[in-house]
């Protein structure tokens, strides 16, 4: 715990790197409130590499401890990747979200993940990079849900993005729709 609070970012990175091994031995008892507070604070560290390592650690801990522990203790911290200032951190969060979706399945995606991402997307006065992160996050879970669920919960956000004031958001959603067309109902895709 003391090393996680060290001023040197290299020390923090090394401690975080060994945390998964500790978690495999100690188990979920490792997730004390002081550790969770420290991890939450580290997601705001000035060094983007530390933030990325912490978000990656949280996703790895979720895979070790399972969906229930993740939802109760880790999800609120992990979903902070959606508004992280570093593009590399946001991209890593998107890829880890896909891994979590594959592991936790449809129920988690529909009840826990999509509502949080949609809420973040719909917040006014957020930078366009955060909206693009939300769009890519939604696309990352599309292979693990049904076409009807995509039509009902993801397509409305994509349609809203096509009307965004920022051209980069429109371009991003166009690329996403093209890349994920096999997961979209053909008539919905054509519309």
Task: Show pLDDT as tens, one digit a residue, over the chain (191 residues).
Answer: 778 878 888 888 888 888 777 877 777 777 778 788 888 989 999 999 999 999 999 999 999 999 999 999 999 999 999 999 999 999 999 999 999 999 999 999 999 999 999 999 988 767 899 999 999 999 999 999 999 999 999 999 999 999 999 999 999 999 999 999 999 999 999 88
Q: How many domains does the chain have?
A: 1
pLDDT of residue 14: 84
Domain span including residue 46: 3-190
- Beta strands per DSSP E along 62-177: none
What's this model's pTM, rounded to 2 decimal places?
A: 0.89
The full DSSP string for 11-27 is HHHHHHHHHHHHHHHH-
Q: What integer pLDDT is reported at residue 125 of this predicted model?
A: 67
CB 131 within 8 A of CB 121: yes
Work out the burial of residue 46: count CB atoms within 10 Å of its CB; fewer than 13 is exposed, 13-18 middle, 19 or more buried.
Answer: exposed
**The pLDDT value given to residue 136:** 98
Q: What is the CATH number of the domain that holds 140?
A: 1.25.10.10
């Amino acid at each position: 715990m003391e090393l996680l609070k060290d001023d040197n970012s290299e020390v923090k990175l090394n401690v975080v790197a060994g945390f998964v091994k500790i978690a495999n031995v100690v188990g979920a008892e490792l997730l004390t409130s002081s550790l969770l507070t420290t991890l939450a604070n580290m997601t705001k560290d000035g060094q983007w590499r530390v933030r990325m390592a912490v978000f990656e650690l949280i996703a790895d801990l979720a895979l070790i401890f399972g969906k229930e522990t993740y939802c109760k203790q880790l999800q609120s911290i992990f979903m902070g990747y959606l508004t992280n200032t570093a593009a590399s951190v946001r991209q890593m969060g998107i890829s880890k979200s896909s891994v979590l979706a594959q592991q936790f399945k449809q129920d988690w995606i529909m009840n826990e993940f999509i509502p949080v991402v949609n809420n973040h997307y719909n917040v006014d006065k957020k930078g366009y990079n955060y909206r693009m992160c939300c769009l890519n996050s939604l696309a990352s879970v599309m292979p693990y849900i049904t076409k009807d669920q995509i039509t009902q919960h993801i397509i409305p956000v994509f349609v809203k993005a096509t009307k965004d004031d920022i051209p980069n958001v429109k371009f991003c959603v166009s690329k996403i729709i093209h890349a994920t067309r096999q997961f979209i109902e053909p008539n919905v895709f054509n519309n």
